[in-house]
Structure 1
């Protein structure tokens, strides 16, 4: 009997951790699929495919051809399409599917969080909280926040470049993880008085939350999108246990 194939829908630290764990386990074979939105992804254990599937139809065709034992959706907590595509395709073919979703950050008593539904709501309320905003919501959300320029000073940080920014908008291109000390220095360097972040959770992005907490800076947090129904776990070790329990 050949190795059992697991398709990991990746792009997160949790996906990479699961791929490493499966690569060390005899009897398993893993393929990690990356959407291709990040130009220089980190190394991945096992096999790698890059680029989208072509919607639900393309994903269903790939699954029908490869017949994996399971699909583990370990995409980013803010992935809006792939979790639903995976749920539909796996249901159509009867393939077990697991959502590997890191927990949200836990609010401390010192945190000054304002939770909003989306970037549009954040734009409406941001001027009430400060004059200089550090935006850590990624390059795809940048056009929405640019509506605030020049009413507010904007500092945009992203992994990918953001072309054609207006004069006066600061862009910091950097890749996590960051330390609380480095985040505190960034806040001080630009005189940031309000931070905008997705409620992504995870250790790699938590430093900015800690730095804002220490300086008493309010944080506008974008809520996670809804997830399809189905089994879910919070870390790679739990995903391994779920896979081991498959018939």
Structure 2
């Protein structure tokens, strides 16, 4: 089957773009990594799982006569973005990166930037003893040996890795409100927040709550991305995809 537009990723931006294309009659397929047990499915066709690296993705693009690829993966999904750049170059398919902006520190917020989860784990004991860990289930092993800190770990699905000795697991999915996050911080006596610079509004409430609660936030910077044409607005991505769709026979 032909799929003129391939969207990589299950972000809210990816779902919005898929819905907009689908409503215009474009045969769009969204590719999800399959790491979440009950993902929010976009409109149009959906495929789960990887492609087998850049070579596999390039072959899939050619086989399905893809006219345009939009990489709308999570800001920390660096591997698939690397594969997308390499694969689209080999297959001769235009590529656009759709990525939400990172968060901007508001006045009065105590933000501590780190380069990765290992650096976050090393910094934590100097900042507090009860941490709210919201970095997702990937990479939680980085905190497994931090024995002087108790963790409230929130993620969508149960983690499949070694966890810190002192922790409570909270399975939950956004969006969240500031009042709800504040109540969580107070109930569990949290004195430090750990998260990634995911951006967007669905999970930003925890940062506002941390500022109001007067505690520091440890934030992991985004990994470097390969060079690619990038936009941050779904409408811009839609316009770009429609142009590629309409320009080929």
TM normalised by structure 1 equals 0.94
Aligned residue for 1:118?
A: 116
SS of 2:88's equivalent? helix
Q: Paired residue for 1:157, among 146, 154, 159?
A: 154
SS of 1:245's equivalent? helix
TM normalised by structure 2 equals 0.94
* CA apart distance, 1:166: 5.6
Unaligned runs of 5+ in 1: none
Kindly provide the CA deviation profile for residues 172-231 of structure 1, in whole angstroms up to 9, marking residues without a partner as x.
111111111111111111111000000000111101011011112100000001111121
C-alpha contact 2:144 2:165 (8 A) present in aligned 1: no
* CA apart distance, 1:111: 1.1
Matched, 1:216 2:176: no
SS of 1:140's equivalent? coil
Aligned residue for 1:15?
A: 14
RMSD value, Cα: 1.6
SS of 1:217's equivalent? coil
CA distance in 2, matches of 1:219, 1:72: 32
Kindly provide the CA deviation profile for residues 99-120 of structure 1, in whole angstroms up to 9, marking residues without a partner as x.
0000011111111101000001
CA distance in 2, matches of 1:17, 1:115: 30
Unaligned runs of 5+ in 2: none
Q: Paired residue for 2:46, among 45, 48, 71?
A: 48
* CA apart distance, 1:165: 4.4
After superposing on structure 2, the runs of 4+ consecutive aligned residues of structure 1 that deviate more than 2 Å are 162-168, 244-247
Aligned length: 244
